[in-house]
Amino acid sequence: MRRVSLWVLAAVVALSAGEPAQAHDPDVPELEVPEVSVIGERPVAASSQQFIPDKEYLLQPQGRPAQVLRLIPGFLAVEHSGGAGKADQYFLRGFDADHGTDVAFFADGMPVNMRSHAHGQGYTDLNFIIPETIEGLDVNKGAYLPEYGDFATAGAVNFRTKQVVQEGIVQAAGGQFGTTRNLLMFSPTTDKVRSLIAAEGYFTNGPFQSDNRYFRANLFGKATTNLTGRDELSVKATFHQAHWNASGEIPLRAVHDGTLDRFGAIDPSEGGKTMRTTAHLNYHYDTTTGGEFFANAYAQYYRLDLYTNFTFFQNDPVNGDGIIQADRRVMYGGDIGYKQRGEIFGLPSIGTVGVQSRVDDIHARLGTQVKRAVTGVTTDSDILEASYAPFVKAEVQPTDWLRLAGGLRSETFTFDVRNRCATCAEQPAGRKSSSIVLPKMNVVLGPWASTELFLNYGEGYHSNDARSAVAPGSSPLARARSYEVGVRSKPFGADGLELIATLWRLDLKSELVFIGDEGTTEIRGATTREGVEVAARGQVWGPLYFNGSVTWTKAEFRNGDAIPLAPEVTAYGALLLKWPEGLTSQLQATYLGVRPLTEDRSIKSPAWIDFDVSERYQLPIKLSHGRMEAFLFIQNLFNTKWEQATFAFASQLRNEPAAVTDIHFVPGNPRTFMGGLAWYF
């Protein structure tokens, strides 16, 4: 693929768009011009910015959509509670981002993170995404682009969906632990109205002694058309429903003394159920003078009932410490703006101005429960949270070897929290507004010898939970300052390996964190994170491809204390080999190094490495229509004992006289086989 300059493409579009329209002469025969696809690499503003196409992750095991995130250098996602139905735990750039507090997720530009969620700020459940519908991932680390706002401190990931598929697919898969996955995906129309319909059903009991009974159902529909010769309208809708049991985070001491199997549970009644419905509209119109008008709108309805028990019998020695977190919300918003290509003082330029808005209407509740029977209410709140964010962006290329990009984003929030529980102690309530202005600056030098250098600075933020934001003297918006220096190079030619190295730093202001599991607010101090990322991806030789990265991070509070759970060393590597007889093989390895679990570093989690193998084979079977493919996934090839989510806190078992501070963990899956057949039609 040859790199095409943004400015050359912009000039071609502007010149062709500038042709005056001619009246049609009915006596002149029409000339049919075949469709031409122009493929080029989009310019990036930072060395860590990239687009990951679907061909790089279609070999991923598809039990968890979040698995594709490990293709991003330094990004890991692990299960959080021994049940696959809730949001994963995300790690990126020294952040244990929990369920999404410092990583912004989008689906075709629609926000996925949940503000003021009952379980945790920025809660991001990706299980409504069908991986095969994704065209690629837009990855932007740091806070360098003005079009990204809330939660985009460590980075932002946008899942871009396909408009059509060239082949429909019917797929059936099965494996150990009662696991099954069925998929249907096809495009009824591909011409004037380009459409895509997909349905997925997934079930697994998992390796746990108490069956997970995790069931997930997804529906997806999308239609795209051109109302005129210069615009595009896309309408998309999704439906997701799931329910599951969970074995929770178990104490290491019980496993060591033999009273509990590593796949056992203290409280097997944990689990939950959730539902999410989305509707999304994207529209853009290209003017005759090199401009583009864009408008997007979305609406979501969501609900979750989550049953957990972290401390077992510490607070209630008789009934146990089970809690229920319930969230009901309607979320809607959109953006509108205009982009213009042209020249400023004779320099090729692109200017963008836009405004984004979002409203979350939330009912969040925390209570106590025993075997999913509600026994009390701790907090119960109605929350109306809204934001309004105008932004401007400018890109200028003074010379062939220098590109400048930057902008400004302003964000204004209103928080309105109302009590629904008159008997709940210290229930937060009130109304508050807050604003923040965020500058962004990027410099790109090169290319020289297929090498570019990047200098970046940007300020971002994440909003705090509305229930802590309305507290007197609070700071509702936590500002982050991010810096980055990087290099990208293709020393072996356009089709060879791309090498990337990035040195970065991120300073996060002191913040208030609402602890959804307790209904309390905790003050956190200012932090500094810095690190190095090294990555390589592309064709090594002939049919052999490689994608891999190693990251090192130092994450500390300003007083030198460690930030608990922050990864220090992570690594990922994948070798893909396309055999000549229709077979494609992939070997993957994921590594998470030792992490401090407490500020004083006295308790640490062990390191682990996990290997997976994927095989796909196009069967030499002659069909009257379509083709057949067989596939096999082997996860944890060497049957390593490893831990996913790992924490250090105090808990008390039924037979213990007092609480004990201990490591609590979710065991990683043992070696697991899964295979199936796919018919492409």
pLDDT at residue 472 in the model: 86
Quickly tell me which residue has 């210069």 as its tokens.
230
Tell me whether residue 25 is in a domain: no
Task: Read off the pLDDT band of 548 (50, 70, 90).
Answer: very high
Tell me whether residue 143 is in a domain: yes
Contact in structure between 512 and 491 (CB atoms under 8 Å): no
Element (H, E) at 15: helix 6-17
| Across 365-379, average pLDDT | 95
Tell me whether residue 23 is in a domain: no
- If one counts the domains in the chain, the total is 1
Please state, in angstroms and as integers, the Cα–Cα distance from residue 246 to each residue in 63, 397, 527, following that order: 16, 54, 33
pLDDT of 511 above 70 = no
Tokens found for residue 69: 């995130």
Tell me whether residue 507 is in a domain: yes
Q: For residue range 650-670, list pLDDT tens digits in order.
A: 999 999 999 999 999 999 999
- Give the bridge partners for 342, in sequence order: 349
pLDDT at residue 65 in the model: 83
pLDDT of 36 above 90 = no
pLDDT at residue 426 in the model: 73
What are the DSSP calls for 145-162, one per residue?
Answer: -TT--BT-SSEEEEEEEP
pLDDT at residue 210 in the model: 94
pLDDT of 63 above 80 = no
HSE-CB for 477 with a 13 A CA cutoff: 24
pLDDT at residue 512 in the model: 54
pLDDT at residue 13 in the model: 36
pLDDT of 201 above 70 = yes
Torsion, CA 107, CA 237, CA 191, CA 26, rounded to 10:
-100
Which of 457, 367, 444 shows the shortest CA–CA distance to 145?
Answer: 457
pLDDT at residue 516 in the model: 52
pLDDT of 623 above 60 = yes
Percent of the chain with pLDDT over 90: 80
Q: What is the DSSP letter of 419?
A: E
CATH number, domain with residue 661: 2.40.170.20
Task: Read off the pLDDT band of 58 (50, 70, 90).
Answer: confident
* 3-class DSSP state of 119: coil
Q: Is-above-0.85 flag for pTM?
A: yes
Tell me whether residue 200 is in a domain: yes
Task: Read off the pLDDT band of 329 (50, 70, 90).
Answer: very high
pLDDT at residue 588 in the model: 95
Which of 537, 509, 544 shows the shortest CA–CA distance to 523?
Answer: 509
Which of 645, 639, 572 shows the shortest CA–CA distance to 605?
Answer: 645
pLDDT at residue 427 in the model: 80
Cβ atoms within 10 A of the Cβ of 345, count? 7
The residue segments making up the domain with residue 86 are 6-18+35-680
| Phi, psi (rounded to 5 degrees) for 72 | -85, 125
Task: Read off the pLDDT band of 37 (50, 70, 90).
Answer: very low
Q: How far apart are CA 413 and CA 465, in angstroms?
A: 12
Q: How far apart are CA 75 and CA 68, in angstroms?
A: 10
Any idea which of 80-84, 91-95, 294-298, 524-528 has the lowest mean pLDDT?
Answer: 80-84
Tell me whether residue 457 is in a domain: yes
pLDDT at residue 677 in the model: 96
Task: Read off the pLDDT band of 509 (50, 70, 90).
Answer: confident
Q: For residue range 596-615, list pLDDT tens digits in order.
A: 999 999 999 999 999 999 99
Any idea which of 193-207, 415-429, 438-452, 529-543 has the lowest mean pLDDT?
Answer: 415-429
Q: How far apart are the first and last CA of the chain?
A: 28
Q: For residue range 475-493, list pLDDT tens digits in order.
A: 899 999 999 999 999 999 8
Q: How far apart are CA 677 and CA 679, in angstroms?
A: 7
| Across 77-106, average pLDDT | 88
Q: How far apart are CA 122 and CA 106, in angstroms?
A: 12
Tell me whether residue 221 is in a domain: yes
HSE-CB for 63 with a 13 A CA cutoff: 29
pLDDT at residue 425 in the model: 73
Which amino acid, one-letter code, is at 167? E
| Phi, psi (rounded to 5 degrees) for 320 | 90, 170
pLDDT at residue 42 in the model: 57
Q: How far apart are CA 149 and CA 660, in angstroms?
A: 41
| Across 369-387, average pLDDT | 96
| Across 66-93, average pLDDT | 88
Task: Read off the pLDDT band of 10 (50, 70, 90).
Answer: very low
Q: How far is CA 116 from the centre of its chain?
A: 18
Contact in structure between 363 and 381 (CB atoms under 8 Å): yes
Tokens found for residue 501: 């190295």
Any idea which of 46-55, 327-336, 628-637 has the lowest mean pLDDT?
Answer: 46-55
Any idea which of 111-125, 400-414, 418-432 has the lowest mean pLDDT?
Answer: 418-432
Per the prediction, the chain carries an average pLDDT of 90
Tell me whether residue 24 is in a domain: no
| Phi, psi (rounded to 5 degrees) for 58 | -70, -15
* 3-class DSSP state of 196: strand
How are the residues of the chain apportioned to helix, strand and coil, as percentages rounded to the nearest 5? 5, 55, 40
